[in-house]
A and B are shown apart, each in its own frame.
Chain A
Amino acid sequence: MIEINNLSKFYSDQFGNKIQLFKNISFTIEDAQITTIIAPVGSGKTSLLKILSGLEKPSEGSVDLKSDNTIIFLSSEPSSYPWLSVKENILFGLKKYDEAKINELINVVGLEGYGEHFPNNKSIGFRFRIALARSLAHNPECICIDEPFNKMDLQTKSEVYLLIRKISFEQKTTFLFTTTNLTEAIFLSDQIYLMGKEPASVFESIKIDLDAVRDLSIINTDKFKEYITQVETHFKKIDAKKILFKTI
């Protein structure tokens, strides 16, 4: 479990004015679950994930981990190295590794037979799978993924949604996502946190009580639609116009 306590972030604009990006953000990420933060554009989602993974420092507050394992951050841009093969990418940064485990990870993310291939000129989905396998190889406390589906086509998105649900369920991996897309948030998540804007803070949490193993047909169920309405209603209350009410 990861506890985020009263995180705040300030930055200075070009005139030297101190601006608060988000304030007093507190929430919990449960083990082996998928947690998603839905927030408007410009509310500091990327900064929040970078703080959780240690790439940025918070102005105030703390992130409490119960183990020494790292929190891996995956950017919205492809982060697999194009000069390394799929296998070399997965091994990148590992001090010791088990060959059988690496091969298993290649299979888990659906890249069997592509171990010696290079990711340059490959699709976003292919490169995302490599980054996912590399993250899993580090046995992380949590994988934080920043709006990963923005540039993916419909087919790839659907495949990756199912893959992430499968990995979370079978490998007991903890994920934290940020998104502006309600449908993908509800489909993927076990827990959702809603964030407002200027300065952003978490104003609502919703437990998603859907089957652990899901397929895309769940989107058309009444229960799923109820969750969509519930989230929309919360955002309408705070007048967040930039949330995208998309379907997959």
Chain B
Amino acid sequence: MPKELNHKIMMKSKVTFVLVLLFTYIILFEFILPFNKVLPKPSLLYESFLYIWKDYDLLSALAITSTVIYLAIILAYLVVYVSAGIIIKFALEYPDAIEKLKVFRYFPAFFIAILFSYWFGDSLIAEFVFAFLTSFALILFHLISEIKNHNPVYADTASNLGLNKYSICSKVIFKDIQPNHFNGLIRIHYYLWILVMIYEFINNIGGFGGVYKTALIYRDFVGLFSVALVISILILFGSIVINYIKEKLFFWE
């Protein structure tokens, strides 16, 4: 099946799923169970959507959290991109060292978020440094895990054509795994959203995490749900942008 057709079918089924979910939510919580402790009434949600932007200063929260997350991902990706040749060469020459480093994969990032918040407090720069280091580690480990999926025929060909080991790693192996590596950014950015919001929640920084904390203190159920909806839309938008960049730049998957 052609890739474009497959993509269209996938998009269609996703949209159908979201529409069915929305329809079920409206019918169930507007008409059948309007008073419940699970989800707010859709009409109430609609009415409160405008006031939460003003009450919680959602625009500023959106600017802080999304800037921290996407700037950190872009910077971390660029650092890995520039040093990919050295990283891949090291990983291929010292596989045992890489195996030992993999132990950090089991080290919970939530714990690092807590440590960082205790060390640096409610500083926005510390939040950015935390986001950058976390995304760098995630992108780096993802690159290392993708190395085993490279096509050895490409590397053999480059070696046969006289390229040195560094050039083979940077010009061939990295290029070969780049589409899959970039694909991993979608999953990494979901994870980073959670971590950054936890960081903001702990330190009560004015991002979405801080908004969540305020909404929880005031037991604003509708506010919590509305913010969750805004975050979901932002994450979805982020995924679409990453996917679009991948289709345009790394078309050879």
Whether chain B is bound by chain A comes out as yes
Residue of A nearest to B151 (CB): A77
CB of B156 within 8 A of CB of A93, answer: no
Q: Tell me the bound Cα distance from A13 to B72 in angstroms.
A: 47
Contact partner, A72, options B153, B160, B172, B252, Cβ 8 Å: B160
Chain A interface SS verdict (over half): loop
Interface size on B, residues (CB 8 A): 18
**Shortest distance from the beta carbon of A152 to any chain B beta carbon, whole Å:** 16
CB of B156 within 8 A of CB of A73, answer: yes
Report if A15 contacts B (CB, 8 A).
no
Residues A135-149 near B (CB distance < 8 A): 138
In this complex, which of B160, B161, B162 has the most chain A Cβ atoms within 10 angstroms of its Cβ?
B160
- Chain B residue numbers with a CB within 8 Å of A81 are 154, 172, 175
- Chain A residue numbers with a CB within 8 Å of B64 are none
Q: Tell me the bound Cα distance from A133 to B175 in angstroms.
A: 21
Report if B163 contacts A (CB, 8 A).
yes
Known interface pairs A79-B153, A83-B175; A93-B158 also in contact (CB < 8 Å): yes
A-B residue pairs in contact (CB < 8 Å), sample of 15: A53-B160, A55-B156, A55-B159, A73-B156, A79-B153, A81-B154, A81-B175, A82-B252, A83-B250, A83-B252, A92-B161, A93-B161, A93-B163, A120-B251, A120-B252
Report if A70 contacts B (CB, 8 A).
yes
Report if B157 contacts A (CB, 8 A).
yes
**Shortest distance from the beta carbon of A48 to any chain B beta carbon, whole Å:** 15
Q: Tell me the bound Cα distance from A82 to B163 in angstroms.
A: 18
- Chain B residue numbers with a CB within 8 Å of A118 are 251-252
The contact string, 1 if C-beta is below 8 Å from chain A, for chain B 221-253, is: 000000000000000000000000000001110
- Chain A residue numbers with a CB within 8 Å of B153 are 75, 77-79
CB of A70 within 8 A of CB of B175, answer: no
- Chain A residue numbers with a CB within 8 Å of B172 are 81
Chain B interface SS verdict (over half): helix
Known: A79-B156, A83-B252. 9 other contacts (CB 8 A): A54-B160, A55-B156, A70-B162, A73-B156, A75-B156, A81-B175, A82-B252, A92-B161, A134-B161
- Chain A residue numbers with a CB within 8 Å of B252 are 82-83, 118, 120
- Chain A residue numbers with a CB within 8 Å of B157 are 73, 75, 79, 131
Number of A-B contacts (CB under 8 A): 46
Q: Tell me the bound Cα distance from A233 to B236 in angstroms.
A: 67
Q: Tell me the bound Cα distance from A79 to B176 in angstroms.
A: 12
- Chain A residue numbers with a CB within 8 Å of B158 are 92-93
Q: Tell me the bound Cα distance from A120 to B172 in angstroms.
A: 15
CB of A70 within 8 A of CB of B154, answer: no
Q: Tell me the bound Cα distance from A72 to B158 in angstroms.
A: 10
- Chain B residue numbers with a CB within 8 Å of A138 are 161
Contact partner, B160, options A70, A83, A120, Cβ 8 Å: A70
- Chain A residue numbers with a CB within 8 Å of B176 are 83
Q: Tell me the bound Cα distance from A55 to B161 in angstroms.
A: 10
Known interface pairs A75-B153, A79-B153, A120-B252; A55-B160 also in contact (CB < 8 Å): yes
CB of A79 within 8 A of CB of B163, answer: no
The contact string, 1 if C-beta is below 8 Å from chain A, for chain B 11-50, is: 0000000000000000000000000000000000000000
Q: Tell me the bound Cα distance from A134 to B162 in angstroms.
A: 13
- Chain B residue numbers with a CB within 8 Å of A75 are 153, 156-157
- Chain A residue numbers with a CB within 8 Å of B156 are 50, 55, 73, 75, 79
**Shortest distance from the beta carbon of A97 to any chain B beta carbon, whole Å:** 13
**Shortest distance from the beta carbon of A187 to any chain B beta carbon, whole Å:** 26
**Shortest distance from the beta carbon of B182 to any chain A beta carbon, whole Å:** 12
Q: Tell me the bound Cα distance from A55 to B168 in angstroms.
A: 14
- Chain B residue numbers with a CB within 8 Å of A50 are 156
Q: Tell me the bound Cα distance from A134 to B251 in angstroms.
A: 22
The contact string, 1 if C-beta is below 8 Å from chain B, for chain A 39-50, is: 000000000001
Q: Tell me the bound Cα distance from A118 to B249 in angstroms.
A: 13
**Shortest distance from the beta carbon of A119 to any chain B beta carbon, whole Å:** 9
**Shortest distance from the beta carbon of B75 to any chain A beta carbon, whole Å:** 24
The contact string, 1 if C-beta is below 8 Å from chain B, for chain A 69-98, is: 010110101110111000000001100000
- Chain B residue numbers with a CB within 8 Å of A77 are 151, 153
